[in-house]
Amino acid sequence: MRVVAGIYGGRRLHAPRGDGTRPTSDRVREAVFSALGPLDGAVVLDLFAGTGALGIEALSRGAARALFVEQDRRALAVLRRNLADLSVPAPAAQVRGGDARAALRTARERGDHYSLVFLDPPYRLAPALGDELTDGLTGLLAPGARVVAEMDRRAPLELGLPCVLDRRYGDTLIRIHSATT
C-alpha cells in the first residue's frame, strides 16, 4: 500500500497484520481523490482512521491539517508509525486514540469545524452507526464540507446528509455526502 499522489506520493504505508484493519486500497483511494478534486487548505477529520491512509493522502494532496481518530491499539501504533516514517509535521497531523463518537463530542465542545471528513467504520458496525454519526457531525461541518463514507455494499452506512456521489468498487461502496449547512 502506497500514497497515491502529492508530496508523499509513492511512499509506502504500513498496515497491521491480520484482518482487524482493512486499509482502503490504492485503487479506491485514487478514485475518491479524483472525485474530490483539489484539497488545498482543507481541514480533515479521519474517523476510524486505521492506518491513516485516507487522511495521509489528503495531507499529501494539499490539506492543511488532519485529525486522525482510531480506537484499535495495533492500528493506532501503525498510524503513528506511518506519520513518523513520512515525517508529517505534528501541527499538520494530530492523532487521538479512542472512540470515534466520543471524538465527535469532544470536537463539538472545542468548536472544531472540518471541510472534509472520512468515515470508514468496521463494516459489521456501519449499518447501526448512520444516525449517530450524522448527529455527531452536526455542527462540525464547515460550509461546503464533504463527508466520504467507505462501506461494504451489503451493509451500507446510511447518513442523513445529501449524497452527491455513489460508486461501487467490487464489494466496496463509496459515498460522498455534502454538508447541509
Please give the average per-residue pLDDT across 110-121, as a whole number: 96
The torsion angles phi and psi of 43, rounded to 5 degrees, stand at: -110, 120
Cβ neighbours of residue 64 closer than 8 Å, sequence gap 6 or more: 41, 42, 43, 92
Report d(CA 1, CA 19) in Å as an integer.
15
Residue 180 has pLDDT above 80, yes or no: no
How high is the pLDDT of residue 27? 87
Model-level pTM?
Answer: 0.94
Task: Calculate the dihedral angle through the C-alpha atoms of 63, 121, 107, 7, rounding to the nearest 10 degrees.
Answer: -10
The CATH number that domain 26-178 falls under is 3.40.50.150
The pLDDT tens digits of the residues spanning 119-153 come to 999 888 999 999 999 999 989 999 999 999 999 99
The pLDDT tens digits of the residues spanning 38-92 come to 999 999 999 999 999 999 999 999 999 999 999 999 999 999 999 999 999 989 9
How high is the pLDDT of residue 16? 84
